[in-house]
Amino acid sequence: MKSKIKVSMSCIFLLVCGLPQCSSQSVQSKTTLCDDGGPGVFTLNADSLPRAVIDSVMNAAESKQASADSGQTATEASPEKNLRGARIRLSTDGTTEFLVLGSAPLSAGDASWFWIVRKDGARAAILLWAAGNCIEAKSSKTHGYRDIELLWASAGSQKTSTYHYDGKAYRLAHSKMQDRGPDD
């Protein structure tokens, strides 16, 4: 229980310290989104996400494997129960990006699964899949797309991973693991 409080406090800190970006009504204005973000953060249920975005996530290798491990086929896994999302702005290239959050079985035991999916017309492509507790779109950019920072924390350690866009997808640029003490 104490570790969940610490993770929640870390996420609240990141939410408070994250710099809000300019936004329109339909685009998520927060730069940091956490799996326990509460109502209003992941504003889109699966039935509000574009079908191409849902199909991309549900057909991803990790989703198929998680569904199989839970005894479900990919068609039996219910996106309506397992996915929430938010429109986010990562570039100025005219495409739309979605941050999609998975819940069991589309998540890990100690972290949520996040997908960043770019939708361009009728097509959608996964730019990043990662597991963590919070994800932040940084103000710095690589190849025109905002850098992404992912936080994962447990009672004993915390890992921060930074991803840069390489022109096609996000790739891990660096990662830092830190031990956490009783006062963290």
The predicted structure's pLDDT at residue 118: 95
pLDDT per position in the chain (184 positions), as tens?
Answer: 444 434 443 443 333 333 232 233 345 555 677 766 554 556 656 667 888 998 898 888 887 777 666 666 555 556 667 788 888 889 988 888 999 988 777 777 778 889 999 998 889 999 999 999 888 999 999 999 999 999 998 888 899 999 999 999 999 999 999 897 676 6
Q: Is the peptide bond before 105 cis (omega within 30 degrees of 0)?
A: yes
**Distance, CA of 88 to CA of 127 (rounded, Å):** 13
How confident is the model at residue 167, as a pLDDT? 94
HSE-up of 90 (CA within 13 Å, CB side)? 30
**Residue 41 bridge partners (DSSP):** none
pTM for the whole structure: 0.74
Q: Which pLDDT value is given to residue 148?
A: 96
Place of tokens 């310290």: 17
